[in-house]
Amino acid sequence: MKRTLELRLKIPEIDLNYWMPTDQDALTFPFREGNLKGVISLNLDPEAVDYDYVEDVADRLRKVPLSCSQVVLRIEGECDDEVTDEEFLEIAQALTAKYLNDMLSYIRTELGQYWGSLIRISEWGLNEFLLQANAKWVDERGETEVLQEIEKVFAIPLPSDFYYRSLGLDKTRWGSISRYIQERPDRDLTKILMANAKQHFEDGDYRMAAVEAVAALEVKLPRFFIERCKSRGVLGDSGASLPSKPQIGYCLILLRLILPEQELDVWLHVKQAQFADSPLLFSSLESDITGKGIVDACIKLNTIRNKVVHERKIPQQEDIKDIKRGIEAVEWLLNFIRDVGGGVSH
C-alpha cells in the first residue's frame, strides 16, 4: 500500500542569493521506519518567496528571489495494510522534525543565518502538527485531500545587527545541505555558539550574548594557544597540555604575544579580497577593521563576560556596543584559526 503526505511548514525566512530551487532540485532521502519504507523530499516553497526587481546588464528589470518563509515536504511511503494512517502520520512527524531541522541547522550555522532557529516539532501533538503543516494526502493522480486547515501566524523578528554577515542560499549550498544531512558531520560547536550569541543579542539578552561568544572562543583558543607556542619554540613537542578553564582568560591576555597584529592584517586583506564580489558580507563592517582591533575587542568582550558571570553585573548601556563589536571580532578570530591554525598565514 502506498501513501503520500504533503506538508507545508512556515519557517524563519531563509535569505536567498538570487536563486530558488525548482522541482528538479528537491532534496530526496530514502527512509525505513519499522514496516514503512519510502522517500522524503524537501524543497522551498515558491509560493512563499519574496521577490524584488533589479536591473540586469541589459538595463532591463528582472525578478529575483530574496527570501523564502515556507518549506514543502512530501513523504511517500509503502507499507503493509496493517500500518494505520495514524501510525504513518506519527512517523511523518518524526521524519519532518529530523530533516527540516537538519536543513535549518545547516542554514543557521554554515550560512550564518542565525535567526533560522530549529522548529520544535517534537513538542507538538500530532493534531497540532498536522494543523500547522497544512497536511494533505496526495493520491496517485496528484490530487490532494486536506486533513485539516488552519491560518498559520508566526511572529518572526527581522534580523538587523548581524544580518549583513549571512551567506545567501544558492545552488551549490543547496546541494551541500543534502550532503550535510546524509553524512551527519560533527557539528562545529563554535558555529552553534556564535549563532546563539547573535540571536541573544538580537533578543536584547546581552549577558548571554557575551557569554556564548566567549564560550565559542574558549572551544578553539586553548589548542590554538598551545600550537602557537610550539611553532615559536616556547613549548616543546611533548609535555604541553591544554589550558584549564580558569587559564583560558590568560590565553586571551597573552593573545597579543602569540598573534602579531600584522599577521591578522595580512589575513584580513586576503579574506576581504576573496569576498570582493559579495558586498553583503562586508557592507556594514567598519572600514578600518584591523588585527589590533580584533584582538582588543575580543579581550574587551572577555572582560565584560567575566563581570556578568563572576561579579553578577548586568551589562550597561555603554557595554552593548562593545559586546556587538566583540561578537564580530570573535567571529573573525575563529575564522582565522580555522584557516591558519597554529601556523602562520604568511
Helix (H), strand (E), coil (C) string for 153-167? CCCCCCCCCCHHHCC
Q: Residue 162's closest CA among 320, 281, 271?
A: 281
C-alpha cell at 71: 518549506
Tell me the C-alpha distance between 166 and 138, whole Å: 36
C-alpha cell at 65: 528571489
Residue type (1 letter), 309: V
Q: What is the pLDDT of residue 285?
A: 44
For residue 319, the surrounding DSSP H or E stretch is helix 317-340
Radius of gyration of the chain (CA): 24
Residue type (1 letter), 110: E
Q: What is the pLDDT of residue 284?
A: 39
The domain spans of the chain are: 2-183, 189-340
Q: Which of these CATH numbers, 1.10.530, 1.20.272, 1.10.3470, 1.20.120, describes 189-340? A: 1.20.120
- Whether 19 and 169 have beta carbons less than 8 Å apart is answered as yes
Q: What is the pLDDT of residue 340?
A: 84
Tell me the C-alpha distance between 107 and 241, whole Å: 35
Q: Residue 200's closest CA among 338, 71, 308, 67?
A: 308
Q: What is the pLDDT of residue 327?
A: 94
- Whether 243 and 251 have beta carbons less than 8 Å apart is answered as yes
**Helix or strand or coil: residue 145?**
strand
Q: What is the pLDDT of residue 78?
A: 85
Cα–Cα distances in Å, from 25 out to 126, 158, 233, 301? Answer: 29, 28, 52, 43
Reading the chain (346 residues) residue by residue, the pLDDT tens digits are 888 999 999 998 899 988 899 999 999 999 998 888 999 999 999 999 998 887 777 778 888 888 999 999 999 998 777 788 888 999 999 999 999 999 999 999 999 899 888 899 989 999 999 999 989 998 877 666 766 554 443 334 455 567 666 788 999 999 999 999 988 767 789 999 999 999 999 888 999 999 999 999 988 888 888 888 777 666 655 555 655 555 556 666 777 777 887 889 999 888 877 765 554 444 334 456 888 999 999 999 999 998 888 788 888 888 999 999 999 999 999 999 988 875 555 4
**Helix or strand or coil: residue 18?**
coil
164 — alpha (psi -120 to 50), left (phi > 0) or beta?
Answer: alpha
Q: What is the pLDDT of residue 316?
A: 84
Please report how many Cα atoms fall inside a 13 Å half-sphere around the Cα of residue 55, on the Cβ side: 3
Tell me the C-alpha distance between 55 and 326, whole Å: 37
